[in-house]
Amino acid sequence: MANDIHWILDDAGLAEHCAAWQALPFVALDTEFMRVDTFYPIAGLLQVSGGDGAYLIDPLRISDWRPFAALLEAPNVVKVLHSCSEDLEVFLRLSGSLPAPLFDTQLAAGYLNLGFSMGYSRLVQALLDIELPKGETRSDWLQRPLSELQVRYAAEDVLHLVEVYRALMARLAPQKVAWVLEDGAELVANLSREVAPEDAWREAKLAWKLSRQQQAVLRALCAWREREARARNQPRNRVLREHSLWPLARTQPDNLVALARIEDMHPKTVRQDGETLLKLIREAAALPPEQWPEALPEPLPVEASTLLKKLRAVGQREGERLDIVPELMLRKKTLEALLKSGFPNGPYQLPDSLRGWRRELMGQALLDCLAAEGESA
């Protein structure tokens, strides 16, 4: 095993290896990082393999990430990862780039109906009949030197990933490979479309229950929280707790005592940012109506749930036909957006979130299902 491990400890070594990897058809990538008290992940190790051993990049020793960014963006090299959303954040933070084309082995397992959202250990067991040790997932990846166990764990992860990829490719039809890559491109596009702080309030729980004036306050609070979390490099809940946002917007306290009584309000937040929060609330509450946000639509009524099940059945039938896990077929948010476009009497419009092969294969069937429901009503 030791012979298969190669360290990359300086910019010249990284540039040399990245140039060589650009000639390969694929590279397997993995990361180890820490993210306990920070907004952004802190990279502790990057692992790369093209099938000829594991290359461990020490990010604490690298200052020029441009060659790695070029590898991530190389269109002729497939980047293979497993359940990669946090890895993508690490890459973006280090190099400013994201991998394309991207092949996520967790998604590929779903396309083979092996299971939805499969953990890496289970997938390695299913495809390679190898039981991975559980040991080092929670260890300190920023310590130096790394322990022998950590090094072996990190190297084995990426070496097995090469074999997992090969096993999946041997079983996937070309059409499904294209779909896995299409979903990978969607993952990358979603991360590239960073939500503006001013829009963060739309994801707040029960925001639709507030008046437009209260939503203006919520918008200001959520935007401030998002900006501060990024600037301080702290988790959002460390800046201002999620459960405090809605009562703050609804009751709009105007003094520190009232602020401290807000549900789930941390005393440290009151001490450190209390006056700032009161000022934000005061200014947002005083905005004229034309500067309030457009009201959020209410959730679908309970009676829409029957129709939602019928739409989901369209995806399930297609999933059975294609031997794909049903969870990968049609996302609940997409079906809800479709229903909201015309509930209860239509006409309905396919939402923008229904894209690519899913729109092509199931778009018309979904509209036909709604039309048939309208006729029988």
Active site positions, annotated = 30, 32, 87, 153, 157
* Across 63-90, average pLDDT: 97
Domains with residue ranges and CATH for the chain: 2-192 (3.30.420.10), 197-291 (1.10.150.80), 302-376 (1.10.150.80)
Q: Could you tell me the pTM of the whole model?
A: 0.93
**Using CA atoms in the order 261, 267, 268, 274, what is the torsion angle rounded to 10 degrees?**
30
- Helix ranges (DSSP H) in the chain: 11-21, 66-73, 85-95, 105-111, 120-128, 148-171, 174-192, 212-232, 236-239, 242-251, 256-260, 267-285, 305-322, 332-340, 356-376
pLDDT in tens, 112-171: 999 999 999 999 999 999 998 876 667 899 999 999 999 999 999 999 999 999 999 999
Spatial neighbors of 181 by CB under 8 A, at least 6 apart, are 78, 101, 102, 103
pLDDT in tens, 161-197: 999 999 999 999 999 999 999 999 999 999 888 889 9
pLDDT at residue number 223: 98
pLDDT at residue number 135: 64
pLDDT at residue number 375: 62
* Across 261-283, average pLDDT: 97
* Across 258-262, average pLDDT: 97
Q: How confident is the model at residue 257 (pLDDT cuts 50, 70, 90)?
A: very high
pLDDT in tens, 345-371: 889 999 999 999 999 999 999 999 999
* Across 78-95, average pLDDT: 96
1, 152 in Cβ contact below 8 A? yes
Q: How confident is the model at residue 376 (pLDDT cuts 50, 70, 90)?
A: low
